[in-house]
Amino acid sequence: MAPVTDSQSGRIRSTVGGHLRRTREFVEDTEPPALAIITVMILSLLGALVGFLAVSDLTIVPFVVFLTAAGIGWFRYQEETAYVIALMMTVSTILILGLIIVFIFRESVPVIRYESATVFGITVPGLRMFIQPNWDAVSPPIRYSMVPMIHGTVMVTLIASAVAAPLGVSAALFLSEIAPSTVREVVKPGVEILAGIPSIVYGFIGFTVLGPWASTQFQTTGQGSYLFVGIVVGVMALPTVVSVAEDALSSVPESMKSGSLAMGTTDWQTMTSITLPAAFSGVSAAVLLGVGRAIGETMAATVMLRGVPRLTEPLVNVFYGQETLTSIIARNYGEADGFQMDALFVAGVILFVTVLVISIGAQYIEWRMHKRLGGEI
């Protein structure tokens, strides 16, 4: 990633300074009674958080105090109370995210230590989980390898992306640039309804319809196929890609398209040379959201896959499907304990880090395209 320039550092310092200045002005301009109510709200919410983390029966007391103070403040000092509530909800969101991160990483530490390996005299925690392919939680030696699940997740994600990305972007381009308004008014709500269908419904259809058909047509032993799980997950991710990409394409200024058409280009040339590049950041974000949906899909993969944590033979065999990171968590969390439960948290850590990297990548692409379209490159 490109280093932060002096001008960017100046803008960051200016933004932070502006927020601090507005906060100081807010405190100075707030009346003492309102300030007292705000203080009670903040302290009582902190007390409720501490009580929740301590699993105390008295947690309800500070929470009731917070609600009472917020109610009084809302009726008497609505503007100040709304400001503080919005600020506390933002801080709470960040705090909850931080607690989740700490929790899943902490719970995964024991099995990471257990699966340590020594390389050139240096002990690397958790290395065995990523270099040996065996998962066996029953018979000694007990092994908890993430390799089969990572392989399955990658296979399903690649197939789902191959389905959702081109079809989703093409459908978004059609809805935004080609379809009449009457067609758009019918199709767009239909796409959004598809996004709201529970994943277990897709998985059930895949298990009862696609699974038996694939088993018969390709003469496989039993059901479970990365190919058809990927297709189902791709269809599930399709509405997300279409909706977000269509919004991005529709936000391109009409003057840019009109200027291109005025130069004598065709509609197709305008779409490919003006509309798509201008909306590239939004379209790429839509595709990455679809990829994230494919990576994190649980129920469809759990229903349709075999549930055997091992690699397919050969590795590129998409007509058999064993297990993914999400499905092994869903299938085993109810009966897992000890190192096996900790291994499931490792799967959660891998999923979290993967989605984080994808999110950072999407932000970076958006930043680069913003600079390019803004004439800064």
pLDDT for the residue 88: 87
| 366 found inside a domain | yes
Q: Of 112, 129, 159, which closes a domain?
A: 112
Cα(333)–Cα(278) distance, integer angstroms? 45
Examine the domain organization and report whether 194 and 280 are in the same domain. yes
| 96 found inside a domain | yes
Examine the domain organization and report whether 163 and 90 are in the same domain. no
pLDDT for the residue 4: 45
| 257 found inside a domain | yes
Examine the domain organization and report whether 101 and 151 are in the same domain. no
Q: What is the CATH number of the domain that holds 351?
A: 1.10.3720.10
pLDDT for the residue 268: 82
The range of the structural domain enclosing residue 41 comes to 31-112
Examine the domain organization and report whether 40 and 175 are in the same domain. no
What backbone torsions phi and psi does residue 264 show, to the nearest 5 degrees?
100, 10
| 289 found inside a domain | yes
| 7 found inside a domain | no
Examine the domain organization and report whether 220 and 327 are in the same domain. yes
Please give the structure tokens belonging to residue 313.
Answer: 């033979």
| 124 found inside a domain | no
Its pTM stands at: 0.80
Examine the domain organization and report whether 264 and 165 are in the same domain. yes
pLDDT tens digits, residue range 139-164?
A: 788 889 999 999 999 999 999 999 99
Examine the domain organization and report whether 214 and 314 are in the same domain. yes
pLDDT for the residue 296: 82
| 78 found inside a domain | yes
Examine the domain organization and report whether 78 and 181 are in the same domain. no
pLDDT tens digits, residue range 24-54?
A: 655 555 667 778 888 888 899 899 988 988 8
Examine the domain organization and report whether 96 and 158 are in the same domain. no
Region 269-282 average pLDDT: 82
Region 247-267 average pLDDT: 82
Q: Of 112, 131, 165, which closes a domain?
A: 112
3-state secondary structure 207-268: HHHHHHHHHHHCCCCCCCCHHHHHHHHHHHHHHHHHHHHHHHHHCCCHHHHHHHHHCCCCHH
Q: How many domains does the chain have?
A: 2
Please give the structure tokens belonging to residue 350.
Answer: 């891998």
> Does residue 113 have a pLDDT over 50?
yes
Judged by DSSP in three states, 307 sits in coil
- In this structure, the number of other CB atoms found within 10 A of the CB of residue 50 comes to 12
Examine the domain organization and report whether 104 and 51 are in the same domain. yes
Examine the domain organization and report whether 302 and 369 are in the same domain. yes
Q: Of 69, 89, 112, which closes a domain?
A: 112
> Among positive and negative, which fits the CA dihedral 363, 369, 371, 374?
negative
Examine the domain organization and report whether 336 and 258 are in the same domain. yes
| 40 found inside a domain | yes
**% residues pLDDT > 70 (the chain):** 89
- In this structure, the number of other CB atoms found within 10 A of the CB of residue 126 comes to 20
Cα(244)–Cα(289) distance, integer angstroms? 9
What is the rounded average pLDDT for all residues in the chain? 83
